[in-house]
Amino acid sequence: MRVFITGATGFIGTAIVQELISAGHQVLGLARSNASAKKLVEAGAEVHRGDLEDLESLRSGAAQSDGVIHAGFIHDFTRFKEVCEVDKIAIETIGEVLAGSGRPLIVTSGTALVSPGRLATEDIIPPFSPAWPRASEQTADAVAALGVRAAVIRLSPSVHGDDDKHGFIPILINIAREKGVSAYIGGGLNRWNAVHRLDAANLYRLALENAAPCARYHGSAEEAITVKTIAEAIGKQLNLPVKSIAPEAAGEHFGWFSHMAAIDCTASSKLTQEGLNWHPTHSTLLADIENGIYTK
């Protein structure tokens, strides 16, 4: 299969490219810069120049493909509403090209806000909220109605592994270094789910090959890890004290990240594993922290 990938040179996208090529697929990767283009060539992929706001580049990339993986997103939280609209329009644009073909389009979402405070499962469809303007799932469903095999992968808040420079664990590590303590909020019993990026990449391939229209799949290898446990592992690696921060002081300590530091988001992947025969095999989040991949 010839596969067009957005976000092809990102942390997760790079792993998806390798996963697809190893399985015998051809990859056409979206590249905004010369550096990204070089990275794709070195990986054995074909380069397609453009970006998420260049709709003609998205149209031509999708038109040349047997399927699309949309793993790209503009991670600029200072204009979050705007970049969510860019994401929505990108999905719609690709979907219009694939309309009526039955070709697959795999769209990326997250598990964090599916059902905070209780176990998120694939069959829970949360209503759209203006407080969280990312509408990737709703847009994928609309595209599926056009005759596209559109499905959604909800990734864990922590997709971890080698070369993770901008994920939630590096953010916590940078805050700990800046503040001189590795902190958690209150009792630290709120939980995150997690997945290794190579397991996530494998999930994208399986979904591309086998997904049902409108399906939700969870990229969650570990259902629940307390944030206190994560903070303790980081403190040990950095040789810093571990400290509880009162909820009212969380904003001052964690800044814009305080919401994610406080969120309780567990997620099951039972239906995903059964439906796609996906079986995560790579290292756990704590093992990656304890093995020093974030501090070497």
* pLDDT tens string 72-92: 999 887 888 999 999 999 999
Pick the closest to residue 54 from 84, 31, 77 (CA basis): 31
pLDDT at 72: 97
Cα-to-chain-centroid distance, residue 51: 18
Q: How many helices (H) and strands (E) in the chain? A: 12, 12
For residue 118, the model assigns a pLDDT of 96
In the chain, pLDDT over 90 holds for what percent of residues?
A: 93
- Which DSSP symbol is given to 267? B
Domain ranges of the chain: 2-158+195-221, 162-193+223-267+276-290
Q: Tell me, what's the pLDDT at 83?
A: 94
Query: What digits encode the pLDDT tens for the residues 132-184?
Result: 778 999 999 999 999 999 999 999 999 999 999 999 999 999 999 999 999 99
Q: Give me the mean pLDDT over the 219-244 stretch.
A: 99
Is it true that domain 2-158+195-221 has CATH number 3.40.50.720?
yes
Inform me whether the pLDDT recorded for 126 exceeds 90. no
Q: How far is CA 215 from CA 20, 124, 151, in A?
A: 21, 11, 5
* DSSP for residue 120: B
CATH number of 162-193+223-267+276-290: 3.90.25
- Helix 80-98 vs helix 55-63: crossing angle, to nearest 10: 30
pTM score, two decimals? 0.97
Instruction: Name the average pLDDT for the chain.
Output: 97
What does the alpha-carbon distance between residue 200 and residue 227 come to, in Å, rounded to a whole number? 21
